[in-house]
Chains A and B, each alone.
Chain A
Amino acid sequence: MPPDAFADVEADARPGAPKPDPILVIDGIQRTFGGLTAVDVSHLEIQRGTITALIGPNGAGKTTLFNLVSAFDQPDAGSWTLNGRSLRGMQPYQIARAGMVRTFQLTKSLAKMTCLENMMLAAPSQAGESFFKALVPSTWRAQEKVIEEQALGLLERFNLIHMRDEYAATLSGGQRKLLEMARSLMTEPDIILLDEPMAGVNPALVQSLLTHIEALRDDGMTVIFIEHDMDVIMGISDWIAVLAEGRVIAEGTPDQVAQNPAVIDAYLGTGFGEEG
């Protein structure tokens, strides 16, 4: 657990509550699809070095919000900053380079590339990715070795090392989730957005995924994740933001959110907590 990052905020847990050291700040982001307002977040701050869960009923706009901040979709209005730097108008690849990387709800593994290639692709600032340098292997061979070591280390950590030379298409659904997460880490991000990292993952693997996510946080990374499994959410999040109909309706620690009547109404249903 991060040492009392939320000590002051906890007393003032309301939608849009300011954080002591926010890495990502979202202001007035709006996105409509025809007459439907999918996202309308007036203010949201994400504390650095914590695990923040983004929850809400189906259609609450969680994935759309991810798409907007990672520039895979463009908002109608609003701005957002990463480490104080505005990301508005940037392309997705620029945002990834700025230190914010995302995964997808429907896993995007590069099917006809091996796991190792999937990993090595994502390493930042590769000399051999320039057309002219690509023609002269001596300009990138050494870097390639370093990247390979790094990729193998991550594959090891995510229990995928035995699949290093297999096509990503041959992985199971859960393994693909792991691969995509590991690949994102190759970009050396400051903050990682995970869209339903546990969906479709074998329960036996979930525990190891959770351990990985906590390990990321302990390495100093910021994690935001979308999830539906309440046990998972309550188990690992330091902070929870609740979305409903595109708006942030509540924020707080897991305990606070679990007891918030608005959240219980909108999302958890009246039964939560009774089964223990």
Chain B
Amino acid sequence: MSDRIEPGDTVLDPERDTRILVAFYASAAVVAALVLLGIAGLDTSSIMSGALRSGLGVQGAVFALAAIGVNLNYGYTGLLNFGPVAFLAAGSYGMGITITNGGPFLLGILVGVLAAAALALLLGLPTLRLRGDFLAITTIAAGEVLRVAFRSDNFFSMALILLLVVGSVGGLTYVLPRVKGRSLQWVVGLVAALVVTVLSSVIWNAELWLGETGGPFGVPRPGEPDIVETFYNWNPYDTGDYALTDVAILGDVLGAIPWVGDVLDSTSFNDRQLWVITVTWSLVVLASAFVWRLVSSPWGRVMRAIREDEDAARAVGKNAFSYKLQSFVVGGVIAAFAGMARAMDQAFFNPESFRTQTTFFIWTVLILGGAASIRGPIAGAIVFWFFVFFIEGALRQMVERDWIPDSILDANNVSSVRFVLLGVTLAALMIWRPQGIFGKKEEALLDAA
């Protein structure tokens, strides 16, 4: 508290906002890299269009949507939800299994949403009494447990593991702080959960579980109905490719510029991709408007109060636990839509689609764009995937041309190395702009104070 910030301090001076400066340096770095790589003889327009395709395409939109959900949890309620991928999984599997069983597409969406909401309640009820880092550890474990459960061919053993994880977490939550009082309540809960698990395992045996989830093979399995048929039946775009040059102003004005024209022309999507992109970015806009409406209401004020100091909120009569649960459910449902959108794009998913790295990408997007801001997740997602694919495109061409010997880096490892470079960039960003692109600098500084 020693160097508390006083009003009027220069650190709070909006004139010293580094947003424009950082944007300038980032753009300058991209341009410089393009010029250098171009002089060296790489196909820079394809690097650029690859990066744009990823940032503006499905990848960017899906991660923007998921980050909006986590932003509600972390940015506005202060919950360290490190398991957003579990909600993507709940949405995807809920929808996928409904459709492969012959259910209509819209029912699939509804089931996906309900599955995510149920997961939020199941995960939230025992864990939201935990604080900060404990919640982070629990949620990251929950995400992994869910993925392993979907990969498993034995529902009973998986259910038991799930029960043990939730059970031990819940048990610790209740028992550790105070042995008396609630421990009996917890024993009753544990016994009830055990009974439900055993009963459901008997009714819903391993074969049935595997038949629905597809185990490691995912959804849909060969021979099962296509999960995206209805979605693409609604596709209003004619078959074909659509490039950025097809957008009137871009094509007419910028398309004429030699290199820019090439980039815009090769930044193209086919009709199916364009449909997913349209829907997903529309969802991003809707979710942003929805979250904005929520957080700028008295409801959001309670959320922010909980983020700042839960006990202070409780002391003035706010039911912090209920609000945290609401935040978890709403954020989880938004993340579930991201999962469903990705499933529509790929027409397929399996347990490996829900590895923890997805969680970390979502968090990176959020921190990069700026937590507790409405535009943050969107900007973060576009910039993140732009740079990932920019670096990948450049490295890939270098490897292809043998500029980098295979002994150092071969084509198979490019996709890993790009994240190393991205990590360096992020570290730099955290030094110079810790609040992210759209975060409020004052707030980041107040945190440090």
- Residue of B whose beta carbon sits closest to that of A180: B312
**Contact flag A108-B311 (CB < 8 Å), given A93-B317, A122-B317:** yes
Q: Are the C-beta atoms of B316 and A186 separated by less than 8 Å?
A: yes
Q: Are the C-beta atoms of A140 and B298 separated by less than 8 Å?
A: yes
Q: How far is the CB of B154 from chain A (nearest CB, A)?
A: 39
Q: How far is the CB of B439 from chain A (nearest CB, A)?
A: 11
Q: How far is the CB of B177 from chain A (nearest CB, A)?
A: 10
Q: Are the C-beta atoms of A140 and B5 separated by less than 8 Å?
A: no
Q: Are the C-beta atoms of B316 and A183 separated by less than 8 Å?
A: yes
From B6, B299, B449, residue with most partner A Cβ within 10 Å: B299
Task: Determine if B302 is an interface residue (Cβ-Cβ < 8 Å).
Answer: yes
What B residues does A137 contact at CB under 8 A? Answer: 293, 297
Task: Determine if A256 is an interface residue (Cβ-Cβ < 8 Å).
Answer: no
Our pick among B300, B307, B313 for the contact of A134 (Cβ within 8 Å) is B300
Task: Determine if B131 is an interface residue (Cβ-Cβ < 8 Å).
Answer: no
Q: How far is the CB of A237 from chain B (nearest CB, A)?
A: 23
Q: How far is the CA of A128 from the CA of B293 in the complex (A)?
A: 11
Q: How far is the CA of A28 from the CA of B304 in the complex (A)?
A: 38
How many chain A residues touch the partner (CB < 8 A)? 47
**Contact flag A170-B5 (CB < 8 Å), given A74-B181, A110-B308:** yes
What A residues does B294 contact at CB under 8 A? Answer: 131, 134-135
**Contact flag A140-B442 (CB < 8 Å), given A96-B314, A108-B311:** no
Task: Determine if A50 is an interface residue (Cβ-Cβ < 8 Å).
Answer: no
Task: Determine if A210 is an interface residue (Cβ-Cβ < 8 Å).
Answer: no
Q: Are the C-beta atoms of A70 and B305 separated by less than 8 Å?
A: no
What B residues does A215 contact at CB under 8 A? Answer: none
**Contact flag A93-B319 (CB < 8 Å), given A112-B443, A134-B293:** yes
What A residues does B293 contact at CB under 8 A? Answer: 134-135, 137
Given A110-B309, A167-B443, A169-B446, 16 more A-B residue pairs with CB atoms under 8 Å apart are: A91-B319, A93-B319, A94-B317, A101-B317, A108-B309, A108-B312, A112-B443, A113-B301, A113-B308, A117-B304, A121-B301, A121-B318, A126-B298, A131-B330, A134-B299, A184-B316
**Contact flag A170-B298 (CB < 8 Å), given A93-B318, A108-B311:** no
Question: Ordered nearest first, which 6 A-B pairs have the shortest CB separation?
Answer: A128-B298, A134-B299, A96-B317, A134-B297, A108-B312, A122-B316
Q: How far is the CA of A112 from the CA of B449 in the complex (A)?
A: 11
> Interface size class for chain B?
35 or more
Q: Are the C-beta atoms of B443 and A121 separated by less than 8 Å?
A: no
Interface string of B276-307 (1 = CB under 8 A from A): 00000000000000100110011111101101
Task: Determine if A85 is an interface residue (Cβ-Cβ < 8 Å).
Answer: no
Within 8 A of B (CB), among A101-146: 101-104, 108-113, 117, 120-122, 124, 126-131, 133-135, 137, 140, 144
Q: How far is the CB of B80 from chain A (nearest CB, A)?
A: 17
Within 8 A of A (CB), among B420-445: 442-443
Q: How far is the CB of A191 from chain B (nearest CB, A)?
A: 13
Within 8 A of A (CB), among B311-345: 311-320, 326, 330
Q: How far is the CA of A237 from the CA of B180 in the complex (A)?
A: 37
Give residues in A with beta carbon < 8 Å to B.
70, 72, 74, 76, 91-94, 96-97, 101-104, 108-113, 117, 120-122, 124, 126-131, 133-135, 137, 140, 144, 163, 166-167, 169-170, 180, 183-184, 186-187
Q: Are the C-beta atoms of A97 and B317 separated by less than 8 Å?
A: yes
- Residue of A whose beta carbon sits closest to that of B299: A134
Q: Are the C-beta atoms of B5 and A169 separated by less than 8 Å?
A: yes
Q: Are the C-beta atoms of B316 and A121 separated by less than 8 Å?
A: yes
Q: Are the C-beta atoms of A129 and B302 separated by less than 8 Å?
A: yes
**Contact flag A110-B304 (CB < 8 Å), given A76-B180, A128-B298, A131-B299:** yes
Task: Determine if B14 is an interface residue (Cβ-Cβ < 8 Å).
Answer: no
Task: Determine if B15 is an interface residue (Cβ-Cβ < 8 Å).
Answer: no
Give residues in B with beta carbon < 8 Å to A.
4-7, 178, 180-181, 290, 293-294, 297-302, 304-305, 307-309, 311-320, 326, 330, 442-443, 446-447, 449
Q: How far is the CB of B333 from chain A (nearest CB, A)?
A: 12
Q: How far is the CA of A197 from the CA of B61 in the complex (A)?
A: 51
Our pick among B299, B308, B312, B317 for the contact of A124 (Cβ within 8 Å) is B317
**Contact flag A167-B304 (CB < 8 Å), given A72-B311, A104-B311, A108-B312:** no
Q: Are the C-beta atoms of B308 and A134 separated by less than 8 Å?
A: no
Q: How far is the CA of A153 from the CA of B170 in the complex (A)?
A: 45
- Residue of A whose beta carbon sits closest to that of B319: A93
**Can you identify 21 A-B contacts, CB atoms within 8 angstroms?**
A70-B315, A74-B180, A74-B181, A92-B314, A93-B318, A103-B315, A104-B312, A110-B304, A111-B308, A113-B305, A121-B305, A124-B317, A128-B297, A129-B301, A131-B299, A134-B298, A163-B7, A167-B443, A169-B5, A169-B446, A170-B5
What A residues does B305 contact at CB under 8 A? Answer: 110, 113, 121
What B residues does A96 contact at CB under 8 A? Answer: 314-317
Our pick among B6, B299, B307, B447 for the contact of A128 (Cβ within 8 Å) is B299
What A residues does B447 contact at CB under 8 A? Answer: 111-112
Our pick among A93, A124, A180 for the contact of B314 (Cβ within 8 Å) is A93
Q: How far is the CB of A188 from chain B (nearest CB, A)?
A: 10
What B residues does A101 contact at CB under 8 A? Answer: 315-317
What A residues does B308 contact at CB under 8 A? Answer: 110-113
Q: How far is the CA of A34 from the CA of B178 in the complex (A)?
A: 12
Q: How far is the CA of A200 from the CA of B45 in the complex (A)?
A: 63
- Residue of A whose beta carbon sits closest to that of B442: A167
Q: How far is the CA of A166 from the CA of B9 in the complex (A)?
A: 13
Our pick among A76, A117, A166, A187 for the contact of B316 (Cβ within 8 Å) is A187
Q: How far is the CB of A7 from chain B (nearest CB, A)?
A: 34
**Contact flag A104-B315 (CB < 8 Å), given A76-B180, A140-B297:** yes
Q: How far is the CB of B79 from chain A (nearest CB, A)?
A: 16
Q: How far is the CA of A251 from the CA of B7 in the complex (A)?
A: 45
- Residue of B whose beta carbon sits closest to that of A144: B298
Q: How far is the CB of A40 from chain B (nearest CB, A)?
A: 17
What A residues does B449 contact at CB under 8 A? Answer: 169
Q: How far is the CA of A122 from the CA of B301 in the complex (A)?
A: 10
Q: Are the C-beta atoms of B316 and A170 separated by less than 8 Å?
A: no
Q: How far is the CA of A108 from the CA of B309 in the complex (A)?
A: 7
What A residues does B309 contact at CB under 8 A? Answer: 108-111
What B residues does A167 contact at CB under 8 A? Answer: 442-443, 446
What B residues does A104 contact at CB under 8 A? Answer: 311-312, 315
Q: Are the C-beta atoms of B314 and A91 separated by less than 8 Å?
A: yes
Q: How far is the CA of A72 from the CA of B294 in the complex (A)?
A: 29
Q: How far is the CA of A93 from the CA of B318 in the complex (A)?
A: 5
